[in-house]
Amino acid sequence: MKTKVFVARDNQIEEAELKEASAVIRSGGLVAFPTETVYGLGGDATNPEASRKIYAAKGRPSDNPLIVHIADFSQLEDIVAEVPQEARDLAEAFWPGPLTMILRKNEVIPYETTGGLDTVAIRMPSHPVARRFLQDSGCMIAAPSANISGRPSPTTAQHVWEDLQGKIEVLLDGGPVGIGIESTIVDLSEDQPMILRPGFITQEMLSQVLGQVGMDPGIASENSKKPPKAPGMRYRHYAPKADLTLVEGHMDQVIAKINALTGEAQVKGQSVGVLATAENQDAYIADHVIVIGQREDEAEIARHLFDVLRQFDTLGVDVIYSESFAAAGVGQAIMNRLLKAAGHKRIFV
């Protein structure tokens, strides 16, 4: 299969190219497209075969549910058993935007899309290319991140091309994304609203709308026996090819520990990469130090995270050591992704 690339200029796709991409979706094919969070790998959410193609292209476990992207709130009403007031309130506050809600599904969305669950994950993206594509196709589009399963999520069209060229019909190139980490997922199918994946929409922001919002303990679990209700809850995600370890503690001690570990690895002949903030980049002795951003600018760090992990792949390092980040706000989402990428390997100093 030859993958066609259609480039958006000023967030606009040529009409003929948009029509071709929409026709691919309606016929059961796959189209990668930009959202404000990461690039998504899209197929018709109501078509079981399209969902099976998504799992096959990514090499994704079939019990890992897909997120259904919609263009209008009325489409949510079409696919769920009931729309609780909490969903209406969150949509009013955060849609279009980087928030996914989990609700009880009806028969419109097949189990192939929900990973066999009776719930469905839904979000309304704000990226102009995504919105126009959804509207033109007339479809609700199931779209996990457009990468090989387990790899760092794609934040540029080049990342998608590296992983999926020849496996999908069309790639809509909208340039680098704005947020860089996947949407916050909140489960509204149980008695208490519960965050299943942290993101740019924080627990504090959700609580301002709904009151008390919990944080599911499964977020930090690698060994849960229960089916994952949301993407990223069980399986290792976002991982670079090299072995990644987080080092956490007072910054002076973190730097000293990373340098000690670097020296040990270099004696063994290993190439070492360090994921660092700008304030500390000159303190490290590693072969490759990549700056992820200013420590006080969490949005910048989130935006660069997956690209930095992919840069280490390009450099071919053997091991990576990373600074840690705040456990609140957007920092919580950053640490969630880094811990998943590291297989929960971290050192406290």
> 205-263, pLDDT tens digit by residue?
999 999 999 999 877 555 545 556 666 555 567 899 999 999 999 999 999 999 999 99
d(CA 204, CA 151): 29
Summarize pLDDT for 317-330 with one digit per residue, the tens. Answer: 999 999 999 888 99
Residue 277 tokens, joined: 């903030």
> What pLDDT does 328 receive?
87
CATH code assigned to 243-348: 3.40.50.11030
Instruction: Tell me, yes or no, if the pTM score tops 0.85.
Output: yes
Summarize pLDDT for 121-131 with one digit per residue, the tens. Answer: 999 999 999 99
Judge whether residue 13 has pLDDT over 70. Answer: yes
Residue 160 tokens, joined: 């998608």
Nearest to 32 by CA among 123, 133, 135, 183: 133
One-letter amino acid of 294: Q
Nearest to 245 by CA among 286, 275, 283: 275
Summarize pLDDT for 257-303 with one digit per residue, the tens. Answer: 999 999 999 999 999 999 999 999 999 999 999 999 999 999 999 99
β-partners of residue 9 are 12
d(CA 319, CA 103): 41
> What pLDDT does 327 receive?
83
> What pLDDT does 48 receive?
98
DSSP state of 301: H
Q: Where are the domains of the chain?
A: 4-220, 243-348
The alpha carbon dihedral of 205, 228, 341, 311 has a sign of: negative
pLDDT, mean over the chain: 94
> What pLDDT does 63 receive?
83
Site of tokens 């930009």: 34
Summarize pLDDT for 72-100 with one digit per residue, the tens. Answer: 999 999 999 999 999 999 999 999 999 99
Nearest to 174 by CA among 17, 39, 310, 311: 39
The alpha carbon dihedral of 40, 303, 179, 233 has a sign of: positive
**Domain at 4-220, CATH from 3.90.870.10, 3.20.20.70, 3.30.930.10, 3.40.190.10:** 3.90.870.10
Q: CA angle 312-143-188, nearest 5°?
A: 110
Summarize pLDDT for 17-73 with one digit per residue, the tens. Answer: 999 999 999 999 999 999 999 999 999 999 999 999 999 999 988 888 999 999 999
One-letter amino acid of 87: A
**In a 10 Å sphere around its CB, with 0-12 CB exposed, 13-18 middle and 19+ buried, how is residue 118 labelled?**
exposed
3-state helix, strand, coil in the chain (%, to 5): 35, 20, 40
Average of pLDDT values for 193-202? 97
> What pLDDT does 50 receive?
98
* pLDDT confidence band for 162 (50 / 70 / 90): very high
> What pLDDT does 236 receive?
61
